[in-house]
A and B are shown apart, each in its own frame.
Chain A
Amino acid sequence: MFSASLRFSDGVEREVEVPEGQSVLAAAHDSGIDLASQCQVGTCGTCMGRLVKGEASMREGCLTALTRTEVAAGHRLLCQTVAGADPVFDMGYPSTLLDANPLLEFTAKVSRITWLSDSVVQFEVKVPKPVGFRFTSGQYCRIKVPGTDQWRSYSIASGEHERGRLSFLIRILPDGVMSAFLREQARAGIPLEMDGPLGSFVLDDDPRPHVMLAGGTGLAPMLSMLDKIRLMRPAPPVLLLFGCGTYAGLFGTEELEARASYMPTLTVRTCISREPARPGHFQGNPVTVLLPSDVPADAVAYLCGPPGMVSDGMERLTVYGLSPESMRTEQFLPS
């Protein structure tokens, strides 16, 4: 038995007694505190908490979505965290998140499919109003691939006020089941089983300068967050670093240009890693093109992309003087 302390971003702090062999996540659930979580087996990364005091270790031998950099920065998956000495976790989201945005299962309808590049599709669905779906910018949904038993997770790209018209960015892979569905069967009107919202990678209402690092379809939650930041008064400065591998795969450039035109505090840097960059673009990835001067001491950083980009980004931001509590991360694996 040990006692874990959970600190939420709205200042609420809760204590949880964790019996031998139980995870912090399960123990919290048993004491009536539901935390953001999804897979329960250490692969999705949703239940991440950041250790800020004490000790906490995860089950030996489990495959986790965390890199060594992240573990060193205090990140723990609470569904796998089973031992500790008075650990204190920073949860990075408000205690009201799950009550405000209850997890729902529902049927939505495909409304539009737009190919944005040779490998990225914008997928829009309509959620019937009686579902009462609500989410916070940065969260994701799971979609059951029609005709299969497979579920896939995608961040919501549309803004919070568009909760009846959700938009997702989906990377098309040669042998992915969702990719096959999108290539071959998807058309407007098809019903989709979904659940959500999930995830603890959420935007704080924060006037500090924002630095966003987005790799590929990791742009999706940033687009939703930008919709919210734009309406803040005054809107904080945002530097968005967005990277794709090749020009054939690059998407969203016109959208981002437009956003910068109607959101004067937004600066976008688009980078290309595997081909020579054209004028106006940067050579490299969102991490390598990040300069020390891009990261004010009071900045808050949001990172979303493949695991390597996220952990490299955290290291780079640390070198530039940002502390782990000023970083929010979400990573994804292609599937």
Chain B
Amino acid sequence: MTHPVPTSAAGTAAALARQYGPYLQADWGYANHWYPGVFSREVAAGGVVGITIGGHDIAVTRDQSGKAWAISDRCVHRGVKMSRKPMCFKDKTVTCWYHGFTYSAETGNLDTIVGSPTDKLIGNARVRTYPTEEFAGIIWVFVGDEDYSPVPPIVTDLPMKVTDRENPIAHLRDPDVVADGIRREVYGNWRLAAENGLDPGHILIHRDNQLVVALDYALPLGLKALKDDAVELIDIEDGPKGIMERFDLQEMFEPVFFNPELGVKARGSRYDPFFRVSAWLPAGLMVESWPEPGYGQYEFYVPIDDHHHMYWEIMVGRATTEEQKNEFQFKFDHFFKPLGLLDFNDNDIMAREATEEFYAKRDGWRGEVLGDMDFSIVAWRKQAAKFGRGFFESPNADED
């Protein structure tokens, strides 16, 4: 025996699992949603960047007018990824580097073939296209069924605009938002990443992180939900769907600063009462007032396949003048990124990789034993089960 699970707890896990059945089926992610695709700075006019979202290989390009387009990154001819070697001979087209198949970035139609301009395929073959939007320094892509209609407005798939506070963190569509961030591919199912992001029970892993120690941040050992509505279920009509952990309301969460059994005490003395975490369909997180008041962090756990996600870490602030923008950039380069996005979040990545092993190979979704601290995770699973618009499916031919 390596992993003893009490029978009763295993039974409970199965009963609980039923409550969010569709979430458990979303191993490749939820289809028919908007996801961040690439940072704007990654795609020059005529450039091509390849990404994979929920098994969809997508080539993101930009025309000379600056507009971003997304088409399938699999050439119809021999199936290679066109993004392997970007090639563009004419505005608003993508040419496959292998045999010259040239597609319209707007329609996906095969417009010509470099060395075979009279081929009968021309005008009769195409790659599919994906809707795009661009703001906050990010090109967003709507990924799912090609005939999904109508395409929902992108605000339905972003964290909500905060309306209940005096100095809310910038929404990604606010005109004065300044944003910068990084993205990296991480081993681990997207759901484990999302759950790690919102998990109030996991802050122990950040106890010794540079940012926490340097800021003398009073990170509790844990956060205990006191009431059923400590986690608010948010369902805005024609708007975002998600859950919000009301860490900002003292009657909802009790920070745990001391474990008498172990004699372990929380460190630090600074505490920010505006700190708050919320998780959003399809795979986003909003951390308000972090790592300092006035700033916030957005994260997206974009499914690549069933075992990998693209981890997006974005810091936001507000700026209208050049000076404010430069100040944000300076703090991003020398504080937020090295201490927050890298050192602090590296611990979360370690946690996801460690979790993936159990969930992928040992039937963790049925074998897990959840406790009091997992209140928020269960709420998130239920909300995600309710509002996912469809399921990505493995495009691989050879799987059981």
Contact = CB atoms under 8 A, between A and B. Distances in A.
B22 A262 contact: yes
A302 B397 CA distance: 35
A175 interface: no
Interface string B211-229: 0000000000000000000
A190 B28 CA distance: 27
B382 A262 contact: yes
Interface string B359-400: 000000000000000000000001001100111011011111
B347 interface: no
A264 B385 CA distance: 12
Contacts of A262: 19-22, 382, 385-386
B67 interface: no
A255 B17 CA distance: 10
B233 to A, nearest CB: 11
B25 A263 contact: no
B18 interface: yes
Interface stretch (A159-167, A212-220, A240-248): A159-167
A258 B400 contact: no
25 contacts: A128-B400, A129-B397, A129-B399, A129-B400, A130-B398, A159-B25, A161-B391, A230-B22, A231-B389, A231-B390, A233-B389, A255-B18, A258-B18, A258-B19, A258-B20, A258-B21, A259-B21, A261-B382, A261-B386, A262-B19, A262-B21, A262-B22, A262-B382, A262-B386, A264-B386
A261 B16 CA distance: 13
B15 A254 contact: yes
Interface string A130-166: 1000000000000000000000000000010110100
Nearest to B386: A262
B25 A162 contact: yes
Interface of B: 15, 18-22, 25, 382, 385-386, 389-391, 393-394, 396-400
Interface of A: 126, 128-130, 159, 161-162, 164, 227, 230-231, 233, 254-255, 258-259, 261-264
B147 to A, nearest CB: 11
A233 B144 CA distance: 14
A262 B22 CA distance: 9
A262 B25 CA distance: 14
A221 to B, nearest CB: 17
A263 B386 contact: yes
Contacts of A255: 18, 21
A264 B398 CA distance: 37
Contacts of A264: 386
Pairs A-B, 3 closest by C-beta atoms: A262-B386, A262-B385, A161-B391
A161 B21 contact: no
Contacts of B399: 129, 164
Given A254-B15, A262-B382, A126 B400 contact: yes
Contacts of A261: 19, 382, 386
Please indicate which of the listed interface residues B390, B391, B396 has the most CB atoms of chain A within 10 Å of its own CB.
B391
B27 to A, nearest CB: 11
A191 to B, nearest CB: 12
B247 to A, nearest CB: 26
